[in-house]
Structure formats: structure tokens, C-alpha cells
Structure 1
Amino acid sequence: MYVVSIDADKCEGCGECIDACPAGILGMVDGKAEVTGAETDCMGCETCVVTCPNEACTLQEL
């Protein structure tokens, strides 16, 4: 299982990670990206990590 985290201090709300996430678990809340879907649906593909220009997304395998 994988868990994606988004650092709100680094996130500038560009939406790149949201558009790129194939699992569709990321969404915009108050101008920042957040995990809005089921965390267990994360596929661990690291697409959000790679596409984020501010290195706000991190992925951890549990």
C-alpha cells in the first residue's frame, strides 16, 4: 500500500499533480492540492511526485 502526502507549504496550487494522477485521488481544496479520494486507491506510480514543480508531493510505501 502507498500513501501520498502533499506539503501545503510547498504547494502553489498549480494542479499538475491532480491532472496527472491516474487514480484520481487528488483534488483542490482552498487553492491547494490535497488527497480527496480514498488513500488506499493510490497506485504508487509516483506520477504526482514527478509532475510537481515544487516537490510538494511525496510517496511512502507502507
Structure 2
Amino acid sequence: MFMVSINQDKCVGCGSCVDACPAKILGMEGDKAEVTGDAADCMGCETCVEICPSEAFTVMEL
């Protein structure tokens, strides 16, 4: 099981993570990315980490 976290202070709200997430658990809340789906569905692929221009994401294995 994996857990994705988003540093809201670093997120620039570009939305690239939302489109890239294969698990479709990310969405935009206002002008920031949020985990809007079931966080347990995170596949640990780290696509969000790779695509984020502001390095706002971390993915940890639980």
C-alpha cells in the first residue's frame, strides 16, 4: 500500500498531476492539487512525483 502526499505550499496548481495519475485519485480543489479519490488506490508509480514541476509530491510505501 502506498500513500501520496502533496505539499500545498509548493503546489502551483498546474493540474498536470491530475491528468497524469493512472489511478485517477487526484483532482483540483480551488487552485491546488488534492487527493480527491480513494487514497488507498494509489499504485505507487510516482508519476505525480516525476511530472510535478514544483516537486510538491511524495509517495511513501506503508
Where on the TM-score scale, by shorter chain, does this alignment land: which range?
over 0.9
Q: Which residue of 2 aligns with 1:53?
A: 53
Alignment-mate amino acid for residue 8 of structure 1: Q
Inter-partner Cα distance in structure 2 for 1:42 and 1:4: 7
- Name the Cα RMSD after superposition: 0.4
Q: Which residue of 2 aligns with 1:42?
A: 42
- Gaps of at least 5 residues in structure 2 are none
After superposition, give the CA deviation of every residue in 1:13-49 in whole Å (9 maximum; x if it has no partner).
Answer: 0001111000000000011000000010000000000
Quote the sequence identity (%): 68
Q: Which residue of 1 aligns with 2:11?
A: 11
TM-score normalised by L of structure 1: 0.98
Inter-partner Cα distance in structure 2 for 1:26 and 1:17: 7
Q: Which residue of 2 aligns with 1:24?
A: 24
